[in-house]
Every structure is written in C-alpha cells, then in structure tokens.
Amino acid sequence: MLTSSPQDRPFDCVVCGSCTVDVLVHPVDLEQPIGVETLHRVDPIGLAVGGMVSNAGITMARMGMRVAAHSAVGDDRWGHLVRAEYQREGIDPRGIDQRGDWPTSVTVVMVDAAGRRSFVHSQGAPKAMDKADYLGALELFASSRAMLLGYYPLLPRLLDDLAEVLQAIRQTGCLTALDAAGGGGSMDPLRELLPHLDVYCPSLHEAQRQTGQREPRRILEGYRAAGADGFLGVKLGAEGALLSPAAGSWVTIPPVVPPGKVVDTTGAGDAFFAGLLTGLLRGDSPFDAGRLAAAAGARSVTAAGATTAAADLAGNRGLAGLA
C-alpha cells in the first residue's frame, strides 16, 4: 500500500522527466493552414512551464505536497525561467541539472476555441538524461516517499535501462509511479517496467495502443498478466477513470464537471495523476483519491496552461464532493 511509504522523509514526491517551457497561443483555428505571410490574431500570448515535472509538480505543491524536481534544462534564459518558477511554486529545484551543451525544451501550444491542441516542440535537455543521471540521484529519491516519471517514451537514452533504474529507486524505499506520452508506445519495454511500478495510470488512448485491447478492464488485466502488481488505472478523460488497486479489484471514478468553460486540455492527464498520487500518499481510499484526481484534472482545463487554474487541496476536495 502507498500509505506504508515512510512518513518522515523530507519530500512526498520527486517528479522526474519531461520539463519544458510552454508558449501558449489561443485561439487558433486548427482546421486551417498556417499560410505564408498570414497574420493570425489571438488572445494575449502566455508563457508557462510545462511537461510532467511542471504540470504534476506544481499541482501537487499547491495541494500541500512537499515536491522536488529531477530533470534537465539548458544554461539559457528558458532554463533560468524554469528554475525560478519552481522556486516560486515551492518546488525544490536541487535535482534540476543546468546543461551548457543542450537547450531547454520549449513547446508552442496552439489551442482552438474548443480546447483542442496542436504542438510545435523543440526537445532539449531532458532527452539527454540517462541511467547515470538517475542512479546518481538515488540520495534524492531516498529522501522522498514517492517518485513520478513522465513521459518515459520520450526519454530515449533512459528507455533501455529504465527497469534497472526503477528497481534501484524502489530499493531506497521510494515508491515508483510512471506516466506515458507520445501515443503510449507498445508493451516493449513496458512489460519490463510494470513489475517495478507501484502506480501506473495511462490514458485510454495510450493504454489501447500499448495492449491492443479496447476495454479498460481488459487493458488492466493485460497489465496484470505482464507482471504488474501495483496500483493501476486508465484515465478516461471526460468519462472519469477506472482504477484497480489490486488484482481483481475495480473502482469506477465518475467524472467531475469542470468549474468553468473548457479552455485548454493541455496537461489535464498530468493534473489527474498529481491528484491521484496526492490522495494515495495522504492515505485516502482509492475512490476518494480517484475523485481528487478527477477534480484536479477537471479544474486544469478551465484556463490556458496546465497549472494556471490549479487549486489547493480544499478547493479540489470541494469540487470532488469530498469536503
């Protein structure tokens, strides 16, 4: 059980992996070509930090979790912005490596009036991280109750060694959680990773692509058959989620209605995962943790940027009907 993780460690979670700066452009007609020498008039263009480290880390920090970051940025203006924003949000940046030989990852996020997205992405320093970066940070993981890594298919230098890395982190007593991206990939190397995970909760699209199954329950049974013995789930977007705390155990999470107009769905899945881990680490029941997750995800879509609308624990519990 996640609640058995050491309570006296300095951090509740180290969030790892994808770390970007997001340039937010809204609204953009995604059905029309960009065109040559064409002027597109949009709302004021925003700037935010993004990627799993930012989206989940800030969401958790605002709900009172003690969060540290582990990723890489360039030694450039974008990289300095990331570190400053983490410090402002109360995230410990000691695990952020500032590299002179790689740029910071930057994404232009174009959002249409319905909240649908298109991305222009320059992948930078996180792509360079490998086994040595993670094994060299075992002291940081040993100081945390849990870690969350995303998005593993986009970390090519880590993939071949990720099972070994997860096993080493788990041996420090730090619980392991993983999130996918990039369409989810396949069961290779996921089947090697599942036995070393305490929490895995991909989106339905990612899970379908990984397993070849369509139905959420069959998907989760497929993960179990591949050796997963931790807490599993499938994020179902506007339909909520299906969770499996243990083999043969099923918890249906109904959706939470967003507290405003849907503006931008960027990072909603990251916010969901942040809420889920927050609830589980607090010792909530699987249902209550799932509802907290659904509330965090629902709230995130009501503003441009994944964490702009992120709320404190009381706000999300209230939205989830848990107050």
Question: Residue 4's pLDDT is what?
Answer: 59
* Across 179-189, average pLDDT: 85
pTM attached to this predicted model: 0.93
* Across 271-278, average pLDDT: 98
- For the domain made up of 9-32+43-308, the CATH class stated in words is alpha beta
9-26: burial string, b at 16+ Cβ within 10 Å, e else: bebbbbbbbbbbbbbbbb
pLDDT band at 114 (very low <50, low <70, confident <90, very high): confident
pLDDT band at 70 (very low <50, low <70, confident <90, very high): very high
Question: Residue 3's pLDDT is what?
Answer: 53
Question: Residue 266's pLDDT is what?
Answer: 85
How far is the C-alpha of 11 from the C-alpha of 311, rounded, in Å?
Answer: 20
pLDDT band at 306 (very low <50, low <70, confident <90, very high): confident
Would you say residue 237 has pLDDT above 80?
A: yes
Are the beta carbons of 223 and 211 closer than 8 angstroms? yes
How far is the C-alpha of 93 from the C-alpha of 119, rounded, in Å?
Answer: 26
* Across 148-170, average pLDDT: 95
Question: Residue 115's pLDDT is what?
Answer: 83
Q: What percent of the chain has pLDDT over 70?
A: 99
pLDDT band at 183 (very low <50, low <70, confident <90, very high): confident
Question: Residue 171's pLDDT is what?
Answer: 97
